Structure 1
Amino acid sequence: MSPQSGPPRRSHPGKPYRRPKKDPVRILAFEALRAVDERDAYANLVLPPLLRKAREDGGFDARDAALTTELVYGTLRLQGTYDAIIAECVDRPLREVDPPVLDVLSLGAHQLLGTRIPTHAAVSASVELARVVLGDGRAKFVNAVLRKIAAADLDTWLERVAPPYDEDPEDHLGVVHAHPRWIVSALWDALGGGRAGIEDLLEADNERPEVTLVARPGRAATDELVAAVGEESALPGRWSPYAVRLAEGGEPGALDAVREGRAGVQDEGSQLVALALAAAPLDGPDRRWLDGCAGPGGKAALLGALAAERGAALLAAEKQPHRARLVERALAGNPGPYQVIAAKGTRTKWRPESFDRMLVDVPCTGLGALRRRPEARWRRRPEDLAGFAPLQRGLLREALAATRIGGVVGYATCSPHPAETRAVVDDVLGEARKDQGATAEWIDARPLMPGVPALGEGPDVQLWPHLHGTDAMYLALLRRTG
């Protein structure tokens, strides 16, 4: 079985199970995986409250939390590869194996093939987990399958289950690096170049990203964050002057500056997008800024702080009311004028030519953030691209119409897929010239990210995890001309 089929597990209620007192780590990891499957939840939203409750209940320390996190994220990242291996070890199609059983098998496979947990401990702990949550009969099945998996290491299994590279490069890379085949193909097209580049990118997608903080200008300084974290655990940002990287993870919410909203957690690529928009040259006044897709508020908070330093006002618009509340929380305490509104995307008609700077970080497939949301790679389908296309183009048209002549629009997306990046901008600009809509010219975004290497031929910018250590953010900067 190749990961190109892109499971997720089928939703299945499973049997009620008893929560044992021993081995709470694997029980909690299992609960998180079931929530991801049954509710289409995201691990980065499900896992933190489970960990918090486990700590509050007692007997669950930082090492337990770290192991639980590794088990959940590692299993989700490599799910397609583990499914291909498990399929070789069972006597029926995987679709006939109950999803809760597959979750236990995948957790066991990850411990055997993706961690340093000793073989006997990985098998026995997984069998005990199965006995508690699935029953004795299924525990015997889990034991038999995991003993087959334990007979070889990961490299040996990949030689067995991955098709030869020469016969089908995309399928081979998809199995070896746990990405659906269509995503491998799309990323390869976007990246260009040979095999080494795509393998580096796929490997980077499977690495746990650093936690990066942003010191919001005028409200906090990087020195303050470094002092609070400790110099031995904090690293300066690679590219953003406001970034601090946490070398050992840690809990950002424990920092005063984060609790007070003067700093926040924000990928460095996201910071670079906001900084480039704010630095783009424009003609005329620079007083009115709009973040047109502001949730959950990271870019809006950084833009709001930068606007305040210049005496400009920020309007932050977000379609979903609950996400608009997150934006309000991120902007709370901003020293300059700002307003947050819940606005329904392209249904909102901004007054023509009323903004000097505007950012539209459009909804997308999220293929640029697979490090953070590993389950997304198995949920997304090629047809999702067509579903986002009208909204992405509509938001960019609206942004150009709402920006005054001489003003600047930033089109951003957390996807490197060509259908969500350059194709959107080219289509909208082409339609504008043909239909006499709001016209614009490209601004070269590369000089607005000083010091950042490998930004391509321009004028737009594509960031990459393996080249820049960021999410794969895309940015096109446009100046309204007519």
Structure 2
Amino acid sequence: MTTPPPARNRRAPRPYRRPKKDAARMVAFEALRAVDERDAYANLVLPALLREAERKSGLDRRDAALATELVYGALRLQGTYDAVIAACVDRPLREVDPPVLDVLVLGAHQLLGTRIPSHAAVSATVELARVVLGDGRAKFVNAVLRRIAARDLDAWLDEVAPPYDQDPEDHLAIVHSHPRWVVSALWDSLGRWQPDASGRSGVEELLAADNARPEVTLVARPGRSTAAELRDALPEEATEPGLWSPYAVRLAEGGDPGELDAVRENRAGVQDEGSQLVATALAAAPLDGPDRLWLDGCAGPGGKAALLAALAAQRGAALVASEKQPHRARLVARALDGNPGPYTVIAADGTRPAWRPGSFDRVLVDVPCSGLGALRRRPEARWRRRPDDLAAFGPLQRGLLRTALDAARPGGVVGYATCSPHLAETRAVVDDVLRGRTDAEWIDARPLLPDLPGLGEGPDVQLWPHLHGTDAMYLALLRRTA
């Protein structure tokens, strides 16, 4: 008689283990959900989430830095990570629940965009999935992340991005994580302004600059503080002088502007150097006649208005700062608080002026736009904007420039600025407005920005992140004629 095999020892089921909350990754997940669900901007929602986590769970500076890297890394490289994730799932991404996709993108960034060891990245992200998605969907996350972890980023790009010579725009869109239409628009604009950099290398440098972490730049408001004062207030290794603006100071990574007395006292502020250059160029433009009253016609949230007010005060001139939205007008008033010279803040629609025509010697309109020039600061904007948005902005931009020209007296100067390099929001707007008028002429803005390379043929100016280290600000200067 055959002896039956011995019975197998069955392992007792493991007791259920409650998932552990990782404060940094929880903050990152909550920030991405706010961006997705409420169209929030990460630079506005993340600080509040970090403060709450510090209060509730004792989040320290190191964990806060990790959460910040995860949020901005995931948003900047979302297009690349979506392509990789799509190659690892058995369904279209549109059929993956958005919270699951947010967790997967956070995991993909840890695996492909940071130095976190693969096993730690997978383990921590699956634990996050257990907390926010439940054990069932956490298993799906685990399977996908293990497939992603099998290759590095270069190997994945070789698989998911088409060859450059086959489809250059789609290749760049996936490799540099921009929507294809944005790649096309930036390439066209770069070719217009920088013909020698319009090929692959130029646009790749621009797209890569959009994905680089931007420096924090301070502005010393003239007459109230100086760049030297700001630098002296911090350790020598913590600051560098600005690249172009005499009022700029660049902070080292991790520097906190709130530590400076001048910032707390409103004598200095945080402002990209491109915005500083727009204000200083308008203030330096040659003027025929008196120089007593200036207008910032789209003043919110107040950075340029504060710099203009300080410059105007040094000449005995006054500033009127106008902003359509009352809550943004309050931000302008806060930014101008303490300015030594006369100023007025009003809530008014720049297309329906609250002032008489011909009232001002200098006028600035930094018009609402797509924000494609500040993608390194607001990376989510690249996924939120659509080509149709430019058509919606166009009439407003033209209307604001027309009323700005009307507001300037004969001999006065108007600056048209926008944080976008898109041709439809820059030269096309100015050309269209001037085509219907005989009372305005171009001023060459390039001599007012000395030492800046790559300003093209003029007379207007386009700044670039990869060439100038600034946001992609555009500036056209016009003189009102009789």
TM superposition score category, shorter chain reference: over 0.9
Distance in 1 between the 2:19 and 2:134 partners?
Answer: 13
Distance 1:341 1:267, change over 3 A: same
For residues 71-470 of structure 1, what are the structure 2 equivalents within 5 Å? Answer: 71-192=70-191, 193-433=198-438, 439-470=439-470
What do residues 181-208 of structure 1 show as CA deviations (whole Å, max 9, x unaligned)? 1100100011112110000000000001
CA-to-aligned-CA distance 1:295-350 (integer Å, 9 cap, x gap)? 00000000000000000000000011111111000000000000000012312353
- Opposite residue 441 of structure 1, the aligned amino acid is E
Distance 2:343 2:387 in 1: 38
Q: 1: distance between equivalents of 2:126 and 2:417?
A: 46
- TM-score between the two structures when normalised by the length of structure 1: 0.94
Which residue identity is paired with 1:394?
G
How far 1:176 sits from its partner (Å)? Answer: 0.4
TM-superposition CA deviations, 1:349-405 (whole Å, max 9, x none): 531111000000000000000000000000100010000000000000000011000
Amino acid at match of 1:103: D
How far 1:255 sits from its partner (Å)? 1.5
1:476 counterpart letter in structure 2: A
Query: Is the Cα contact below 8 Å between 2:20 and 2:131 reproduced in 1?
Result: no
Q: Which moved more, 1:402-411 or 1:76-85?
A: 76-85
DSSP-derived class of the 1:347 partner = coil
1:461 Cα deviation after fit:
0.4
Q: CA deviation at 1:166?
A: 1.1
Instruction: Check whether the contact 2:173–2:183 (CA below 8 A) recurs between aligned residues.
Output: yes
For residues 15-26 of structure 1, what are the structure 2 equivalents within 5 Å? Answer: 22-26=21-25
Question: Is the 2:360–2:408 Cα contact (8 Å) retained in structure 1?
Answer: yes
Task: Give the whole-Å Cα distance in 2 for the aligned partners of 1:474 and 1:273.
Answer: 8
Q: 1:53 offset after TM fit, Å?
A: 2.1
- What is the DSSP-based 3-state SS (H/G/I as helix, E as strand, rest coil) of the residue aligned with 1:293? coil
Gaps of 5+ in 2: 1-17, 192-197
**Does the aligned pair in 1 maintain the 2:19–2:127 contact within 8 Å?**
no
Larger Rg: 2
Distance of 2:207 and 2:397 partners within structure 1: 26
Instruction: Indicate conservation of the 8 Å contact 1:361/1:411, yes or no.
Output: yes
Q: Which amino acid aligns with 1:428?
A: V
Amino acid across the alignment from 2:463: L
Amino acid across the alignment from 1:44:
N
Residues 14-43 of structure 1 show CA distances to partners (whole Å, capped at 9, x for unaligned) of xxxxx9764100011001000111100000
Q: Which moved more, 1:57-66 or 1:118-127?
A: 57-66
* Contact persistence 1:358–1:410 (CA under 8 A): yes
Once the two structures are aligned, what percentage of the paired residues are identical?
Answer: 82
* Contact 1:210-1:249 within 8 A present in 2 as well: no
1:62 counterpart residue number = 61
Counterpart-to-counterpart distance in 1, 2:64 and 2:385: 28
Instruction: Note if contact 1:220-1:263 (Cα within 8 Å) is conserved in structure 2.
Output: yes
Q: Over aligned residues, Cα RMSD in angstroms?
A: 1.1
Structure 1 residues 55, 401: CA separation in 2 closer, same or farther (over 3 Å shift)?
same
Aligned equivalents of 2:370 and 2:70: distance in 1?
25
CA deviation string 1:453-478 (max 9, x = no partner) = 11111110000000000000000000
Quote the Cα distance in structure 2 between the aligned partners of 1:261 and 1:56. Answer: 27
Distance 2:52 2:236 in 1: 30
Deviation at 1:56, TM superposition (A): 3.0
Structure 2 length-normalised TM = 0.94
The CA distance in 2 between the partners of 1:381 and 1:460, in whole Å, is 26
Q: Which runs of 5+ in 1 are unaligned?
A: 1-18, 434-438
CA distance in 1, matches of 2:425, 2:21: 47
Counterpart of 2:119, as a letter, is H
- Secondary structure in 2 aligned to 1:163? coil
**Inter-partner Cα distance in structure 1 for 2:222 and 2:382:** 35
Q: Residues 19-58 of structure 1 correspond to what in structure 2 (within 5 A)?
A: 22-57=21-56
